[in-house]
C-alpha cells in the first residue's frame, strides 16, 4: 500500500477493489480476483458444458457453488422435475457437468437448495468484502451483506471459472444516504422502487451504489438484501451496504462462514471495509423515508411506478420519442389509462416469492396480514419460499398453515412464477400483484399483467381481491380498521 493511499480517505468500494486487484489496464479497467462463483442450472449449465467442450479446467473448484432453482418444478411435492417443457436437459446437464468438474451442487432434494441469491447468504457463501459473481443479474442482492457481487453472462462466467478473475471497469460511485424512521407500512422494496421511479431504470447506470445512513443501519439484513436486489433494475453495476454489527451477527456460524478460530481475524477485516470519513463519491442522493408511501408499478418497466394511492402519469412528452412510445405501449399492455388510480383495481392473482422477497422475514410479515383471514374468492394466490431452508423454518413456526388457511398455495422452493418458463402461467391479461422484481411484458407469461409491490401489499391485496393500501390497516390513517 503506497503512502498516498494510506492517508487519502477511501470508499469501501475502493478498498474492496484494491484488495482484489491483480492487474490494472490503461483504460482504468482492472483484472479483479473473484472469491466465489455461484451457478444455477439455467445459465450455469451452459458455461460448464462449454468449459468441458473446450477442455478448460476450473482453476479453484472449491470456490464454486451450484444449485437448481430456475426451472425446477415448485408445485407441492414437485410432481415433475422441471416446470419448463424440455427443461430437464438443463437439470441433467447441471448434474453431469458439476460431477465431471468436481463442483458442489445443492441438488433438488438437498436441504441447502434454493434460489441462488437466497441460498448464498443463508449458507455463508456470501460474506462481507468478497467478490462474488453468478451468471444471473440479481447477484447484486448479496451486497446486502457488504459483498461486492454482480451478475455476468455465461461466457464471462467461464472466464471466472478458468482464471478466477474478471476484467472490471472502475465504476463511478454513488452514495444513497437514507434517513428518517421507517413507517410501519414501508419496506425496503418500497424504497428501492421509489428510487427507480424517481431516477429511472438507467439512473444508476455505470455506478456502484453504497447505501448508508441511519435508516440503513436500522434495517435488518434481509431487508438490505431486498434493497440491493433491485439495484440492477436501477441500472447499477452493483450495490452494497458496508458491514456492521448486524452483518456480523447474521454471518456468524453459517455453514461456509469462517470457522471459530478465524472469527476474530475475519470480523476485523470486515469492519474495516467501510467508507472513510471524507471519502469522495461521484454522486450523492439523500432520501428521507419517514413519509414515503407504499409503492406499486403500473407499467412494464420498474420505473413505471407510483405511490399506491397515486395516479398513472401521462406518457412522457414527445421530447423523447422512444420513451413516449414505451409508455403508451406499457399502458396498452397493462390495460390501463393515464390518470387512472390503481387503488381498488381488481386483481386475478397474487404471488409471493422470488429472490427479492421470499425470505423468512418476508413470509412472516405477509403472514401477519393473512392470519385468520381468507383471500377473495376470485384470486389465485401462491407463496413460494426462496429456499428449502426458508420453507422448513417457516413450517416450523406454522406459517404455511396461515398461508394455506388464507387460500394461498404453499409451494416448494425455487424461482417459480417469477418468470415464465413456458409451462404454467397466470394467463393472458390476468392482473397479478407480485413480490418479484420485474414487470416486463410477458415476464410472468404471455400477456400477463404484473404489478410489483412489497409482500405485505401483495398479501393485503389478495385478501381484498383488489390493489390495496396497507395504511388502511393502520388506525391513524383510517378508522375502518380491520379486526
CB-wise, 165 or 436, nearer to ligand SF4? Answer: 436
206-230 core/surface letters (b: 16 or more CB in 10 A; e: else):
ebbbbbbbebbbebebbbbbbbbbb
CA nearest to 279, candidates 2, 11, 13, 17: 11
Does the protein bind another protein through residue 266 (CB under 8 A)? yes
Site string for another protein, 294-333 (x = CB under 8 A): -------x-x----------------xxxx-xx--x----
Residues 92-111 that bind another protein (CB under 8 A): 93, 104
Does the protein bind another protein through residue 474 (CB under 8 A)? no
Q: Among 10, 138, 171, 431, which residue interacts with ligand SF4 (rule: CB under 6 A)?
A: 138
Q: Among 267, 354, 468, 472, which residue interacts with ligand SF4 (rule: CB under 6 A)?
A: 354
Site string for ligand SF4, 76-115 (x = CB under 6 A): ---------------------------------------x
Give the single-character DSSP code of 210.
E
Q: Please, are residues 171 and 209 in contact by the beta-carbon 8 Å criterion?
A: no
CB-wise, 228 or 366, nearer to another protein? Answer: 228
- What is the closest distance, in whole angstroms, from the C-beta atom of residue 46 to ligand SF4 in the complex? 16
Distance CA 325, CA 318 (A): 9
Q: Where is 415: in which H helix or E strand?
A: none
Cβ count within 10 A of residue 317 = 9
Residues 137-156 that bind another protein (CB under 8 A): 137, 150-156
CB-wise, 208 or 460, nearer to another protein? Answer: 208
Give the single-character DSSP code of 225.
H
Q: What are phi and psi of 30, to 5 degrees?
A: -125, 155
Q: Among 13, 185, 237, 426, which residue interacts with another protein (rule: CB under 8 A)?
A: 237
Does the protein bind ligand SF4 through residue 355 (CB under 6 A)? yes
Residues 361-400 that bind another protein (CB under 8 A): none
CB-wise, 137 or 341, nearer to another protein? Answer: 137
CA nearest to 125, candidates 38, 216, 226, 246: 38
Site string for another protein, 427-446 (x = CB under 8 A): -----------x-xxxx--x
Distance CA 256, CA 60 (A): 16
CA nearest to 386, candidates 364, 362, 409, 405: 362
Cβ count within 10 A of residue 482 = 11
Residues 376-435 that bind ligand SF4 (CB under 6 A): 415, 418-419
Residue 69 exposure: Cα atoms within 13 Å on the Cβ side: 34
Q: Among 10, 83, 164, 400, which residue interacts with another protein (rule: CB under 8 A)?
A: 164
Which grid cell is 282? 461521484
- What is the closest distance, in whole angstroms, from the C-beta atom of residue 242 to another protein in the complex? 17
Number of residues in contact with ligand SF4 under rule CB under 6 A: 12
Does the protein bind ligand SF4 through residue 139 (CB under 6 A)? no
- Residue 354 contacts which entry, another protein, ligand SF4, none (Cβ below 5-8 A, type-dependent): ligand SF4
Q: Among 6, 7, 26, 318, which residue interacts with another protein (rule: CB under 8 A)?
A: 26
Residue 162 exposure: Cα atoms within 13 Å on the Cβ side: 15
Q: What are phi and psi of 437, to 5 degrees?
A: -115, -10
Q: Please, are residues 133 and 160 in contact by the beta-carbon 8 Å criterion?
A: yes
Contacts (Cβ under 8 Å, ≥6 apart) of 355: 115, 116, 117, 118, 138, 141, 229, 386, 415, 418, 437
Residues 269-288 that bind another protein (CB under 8 A): 269
Distance CA 122, CA 392 (A): 13
Across 213-307, where does the E strand assignment appear? 238-240, 283-288, 295-297, 305-307
Q: Among 389, 437, 468, 472, which residue interacts with ligand SF4 (rule: CB under 6 A)?
A: 437
Q: Please, are residues 122 and 389 in contact by the beta-carbon 8 Å criterion?
A: yes
CB-wise, 202 or 405, nearer to another protein? Answer: 202
CA nearest to 314, candidates 330, 294, 293: 330
CB-wise, 267 or 293, nearer to another protein? Answer: 267
CB-wise, 112 or 345, nearer to ligand SF4? Answer: 112
- What is the closest distance, in whole angstroms, from the C-beta atom of residue 69 to another protein in the complex? 14
- What is the closest distance, in whole angstroms, from the C-beta atom of residue 42 to ligand SF4 in the complex? 8
Binding interface with ligand SF4 (CB under 6 A): 70, 115, 117, 136, 138, 354-355, 415, 418-419, 436-437
Amino acid at each position: 500500500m503506497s503512502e498516498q493511499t494510506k492517508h487519502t480517505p477511501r470508499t469501501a468500494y475502493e478498498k474492496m477493489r484494491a484488495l482484489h486487484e491483480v492487474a490494472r489496464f490503461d483504460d482504468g479497467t482492472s483484472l479483479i480476483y473473484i472469491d466465489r462463483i455461484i451457478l444455477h442450472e439455467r445459465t450455469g449449465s451452459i458455461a460448464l458444458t462449454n468449459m468441458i467442450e473446450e477442455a478448460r479446467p476450473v482453476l479453484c473448484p472449491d470456490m464454486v457453488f451450484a444449485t437448481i432453482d430456475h426451472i425446477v418444478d415448485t408445485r407441492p411435492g414437485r410432481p415433475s422435475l422441471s416446470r419448463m417443457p424440455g427443461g430437464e436437459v438443463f437439470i441433467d446437464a447441471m448434474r453431469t457437468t458439476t460431477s465431471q468438474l468436481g463442483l458442489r451442487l445443492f441438488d433438488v432434494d438437498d436441504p441447502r437448495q434454493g434460489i441462488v441469491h437466497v441460498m448464498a447468504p443463508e449458507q455463508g457463501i456470501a460474506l462481507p468484502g468478497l467478490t462474488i459473481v453468478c451468471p444471473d443479474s440479481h447477484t447484486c442482492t448479496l451486497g446486502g451483506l457488504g459483498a461486492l457481487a454482480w451478475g455476468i453472462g455465461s461466457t464471462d462466467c467461464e472466464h471466472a471459472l478458468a482464471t478466477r478473475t474478471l476484467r472490471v471497469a472502475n465504476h463511478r460511485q454513488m452514495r444513497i444516504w437514507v434517513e428518517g424512521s421507517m413507517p410501519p407500512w414501508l419496506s425496503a422494496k418500497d424504497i428501492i422502487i421509489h428510487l427507480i421511479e424517481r431516477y429511472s431504470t438507467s439512473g444508476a447506470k455505470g455506478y456502484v451504489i453504497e447505501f448508508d445512513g441511519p435508516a440503513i443501519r436500522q434495517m435488518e439484513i434481509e431487508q438490505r438484501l431486498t434493497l440491493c436486489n433491485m439495484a440492477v433494475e436501477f441500472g447499477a453495476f452493483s450495490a452494497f451496504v458496508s458491514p456492521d454489527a448486524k452483518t456480523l451477527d447474521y454471518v456468524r456460524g453459517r455453514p461456509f462462514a469462517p470457522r471459530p478460530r478465524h472469527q476474530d481475524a475475519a470480523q476485523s477485516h470486515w469492519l474495516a471495509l467501510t467508507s472513510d470519513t471524507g471519502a469522495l463519491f461521484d454522486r450523492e442522493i439523500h432520501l428521507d423515508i419517514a413519509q414515503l408511501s407504499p409503492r406499486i408499478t403500473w407499467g412494464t418497466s420498474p420505473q413505471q411506478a407510483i405511490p399506491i394511492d397515486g395516479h398513472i402519469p401521462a406518457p412522457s412528452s414527445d421530447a423523447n420519442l422512444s420513451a413516449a412510445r414505451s409508455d403508451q405501449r406499457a399502458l396498452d399492455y397493462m390495460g390501463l389509462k393515464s390518470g387512472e388510480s390503481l387503488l381498488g383495481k381488481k386483481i386475478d392473482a397474487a404471488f409471493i416469492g422470488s429472490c427479492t422477497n421470499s425470505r423468512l422475514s418476508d413470509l412472516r410479515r405477509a403472514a401477519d396480514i393473512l392470519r385468520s383471514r381468507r383471500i377473495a374468492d376470485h384470486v389465485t394466490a401462491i407463496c413460494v419460499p426462496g429456499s428449502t431452508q426458508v420453507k422448513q423454518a417457516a413450517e416450523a413456526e406454522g406459517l404455511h398453515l396461515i398461508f394455506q388457511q388464507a387460500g394461498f398455495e404453499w409451494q416448494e422452493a425455487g424461482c417459480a412464477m417469477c418468470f415464465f418458463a413456458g409451462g404454467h402461467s397466470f394467463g393472458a391479461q390476468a392482473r397479478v400483484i407480485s413480490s418479484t422484481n420485474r414487470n416486463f411484458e410477458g415476464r410472468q407469461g404471455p400477456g400477463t399483467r404484473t404489478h410489483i409491490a412489497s409482500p405485505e401489499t401483495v398479501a393485503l391485496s389478495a385478501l381484498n381481491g383488489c390493489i390495496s393500501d396497507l395504511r388502511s390497516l393502520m388506525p391513524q390513517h383510517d378508522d375502518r380498521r380491520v379486526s
